[in-house]
Amino acid sequence: MGIIDKLRAELVDIIEWVDDSRHTLVWRFPRYHNQIKYGAQLIVRPGQSAVFVRQGKVADVFGPGQYRLETKNLPVLSTLAGWKYGFDSPFMAEVYFATTRQITDLKWGTPNPVMMRDPDFGPIRVRAFGTYTLKALDPKTLLEELVGADSEFEAEEIHELLRAIINTAFADVVAKSEIPVLDLASNYQELSEQLREMVLQRIDDEYGLSIPQLYIVNISVPAEVEQALDVRTSMNAIGDMAAYQAYQLGQAMPVAAANPAGGLAGAGVGLGMGMAMAGPMLSGTAPGASSPAPQAPPPPPPAASWHVAENGQTLGPFGLEALAQAAAQGRFRPDTLVWMAGMAGWTPAAQVPQLAALFQAPPPPGRRPHPLTETRGETRGTVLPISVTRIAPVAAYCDHAGPPRGRSRGGVR
């Protein structure tokens, strides 16, 4: 072996890519003047593909393995360079490595709600988000359509484009599926596969990319629609709304009575507010209740409700029963200011005809009527007719007490 061959064997050229990133799609091998020696070693690791480019044209593509670059291993490049009988000098070419493994942890989501027509709720807006994986399917198409002359191409550079494609495809899939909003969660897997296939049809031939996996993680409605659905679910779970309101009222009354703040806030707030809230439901006008039969009488008129001013605060409304209870306990006084709908302004309670009776003192206990001149319940001093049965005992009493006028005590004249 001559000295030239020995030096050539020692100076072996190695072309490889040790990928320490997780989101790089294409990487160009750096070489001064793009010179590659004859017999250089090309190492393509699993999940990679090597592409040779000469004079702006894609030449040979190598899969995973180790290669010695010779004329027989570079048929396209040899044709482009005109190497009919081989070459024995460095040649100029660019080497690009493309990632054929899956790039994971890529996320997508709808930037704005997507309108759909639901059979239960009518037109409604939905949002969705999920994850997907990406890899290079055709490195040649990827270089020609996206990479160009870049030395490095990251997945983030095409992420916005892919998100737009996924969002457009999601709107088409949801509209064509005609699945109700309440049943979307049970069809995530089917919808994810349909969405992946539709997206793949739009990027595989055009960009040389593949999406091996795409998942819909969640489909949701706006917050206000979620609250309405929660209320509807709660009402269905409660069932008898009138019975539930009565139970809530019973639970609130002890708490209101035990309120340490005292005053009307502790005596009648719970009762008054509870009756005001439960009154329409207990009278059969609760939402969702069936309309009464035509033969049924109309509901009674609503009871008067009063607002009370206490300590600079407005309390109420209270019913007449709650105010009567508070007046009996001394918490509702004649000078307490009250107001109800229809009144011009705040008025002392004693000046309101409906409430003045709450402060009137009870009548004194009645005395026992006189047995001769009065009957029970009549006024004193009234002379009443006396029956014969009532005179007889009186006459007997007079005979026993003494002789009548004109007769002597000693005997008969």
Give the mean model confidence (pLDDT) for residues 82-108: 76
The reply to whether 299 falls in a domain is no
The reply to whether 408 falls in a domain is no
117 with 205, same domain: the answer is yes
pLDDT of amino acid 96: 92
218 with 109, same domain: the answer is yes
Give the mean model confidence (pLDDT) for residues 113-121: 85
pLDDT in tens, 395-407: 444 444 444 444 4
pLDDT of amino acid 165: 93
What mean pLDDT, rounded, does the chain reach?
74
The reply to whether 294 falls in a domain is no
For residue 209, give its domain range: 103-225
pLDDT of amino acid 301: 63
Integer Cα distance of 185 and 146 in angstroms: 36
CATH of the domain at 166: 3.30.479.30
Least confident of 127-131, 229-233, 339-343, 353-357: 229-233
If one compares 273 and 388, the residue with the highest pLDDT of the two is: 273
Tell me the torsion sign for CA atoms 142, 146, 151, 152. Answer: negative
158 with 264, same domain: the answer is no
Integer Cα distance of 30 and 138 in angstroms: 22
The reply to whether 394 falls in a domain is no
- Give the count of domains, the chain: 3
pLDDT in tens, 157-214: 888 999 999 999 999 998 888 888 888 888 999 999 999 999 998 888 888 899 999 9
For the entire predicted model, the pTM comes to 0.52
Angle at 278 between CA 273 and CA 283, to 5 degrees: 140
The reply to whether 70 falls in a domain is yes
248 with 326, same domain: the answer is yes
85 with 193, same domain: the answer is no
28 with 89, same domain: the answer is yes
220 with 109, same domain: the answer is yes
Q: Helices marked H in 293-337 — which ranges?
A: 320-328
42 with 145, same domain: the answer is no
156 with 93, same domain: the answer is no
116 with 202, same domain: the answer is yes
Range ranked top by mean pLDDT from 22-36, 67-81, 112-126, 191-205: 191-205
209 with 245, same domain: the answer is no
109 with 212, same domain: the answer is yes
